[in-house]
Amino acid sequence: MEKRELKISYTSYKSIDELPHDEKLLLNKAIEATSGSYSPYSGFSVGAAVEMANGEIISAANQENAAYPSGMCAERSALFYAHSKYPGVPVRAIAIVASHNGRITPQLTYPCGACCQVLSETQSQSGSPVKIVIGSTNGAIVLDSVSALLPFAFDNYPK
């Protein structure tokens, strides 16, 4: 038996204003996207913004449905649309933020497991790390790779 340790590194910011320009811009697009959320059941709105390698930014919000689990998370909505609109264009980064009752939450809101898996395959398809920016009223973090959130990802993407 061999015991191993897994370390995750990230950059933490005390305020969204401390973020580098590109990450701040992307996070602000995610904040704007929360207004498109349809979340009458949870009241929990999530916005995501995806930066493509061609410079385009695609944003989306979560969409709930009474026939749970037929809704869709903001991250997957944005990623699926980005892949449809720009097939073959790598994703550079994604920003994620949540709001409740129209106000950005004080806690960081991380992607769910399904979104982490889609992000992992996106990263695999891109051939380079996808940066993840997560914001709140109490600051933000930046992860340099999806692997920080899902280190043991199911990777069945043909290479």
Strands 103-104, 11-13: parallel, antiparallel or unpaired by DSSP? unpaired
11-148: CATH topology: Cytidine Deaminase; domain 2 (3.40.140)
Q: Which two tokens stand for residue 23?
A: 């990450």
Contact 52, 91 (CB under 8 A): yes
Q: Would you call 64 a catalytic residue per the annotation?
A: no
pLDDT in tens, the chain (159 residues): 999 988 899 999 999 999 999 999 999 999 999 999 999 999 999 999 999 999 999 999 999 999 988 899 999 999 999 999 999 999 999 999 999 988 999 999 999 999 999 999 999 988 899 999 999 999 999 999 999 999 888 776 555
Q: Considering Cα of 129, then 70, then 26, then 9, what sign does the dihedral take?
A: negative
Q: Which two tokens stand for residue 132?
A: 């993840």
Q: Given 5, 23, 75, 121, which residue is catalytic?
A: 75
pTM score: 0.93
| Cα radius of gyration (the chain) | 15
∠ CA 132-136-140, rounded to 5°: 45
């996808």: which residue's tokens? 130
Beta bridge partners of 94: 50, 132
Per domain, the residue ranges of the chain are 11-148
Residue spans of beta strands (DSSP E) within 64-138:
91-100, 103-104, 131-136
Our CA dihedral for 105, 111, 112, 118, rounded to 10 degrees, sits at 160
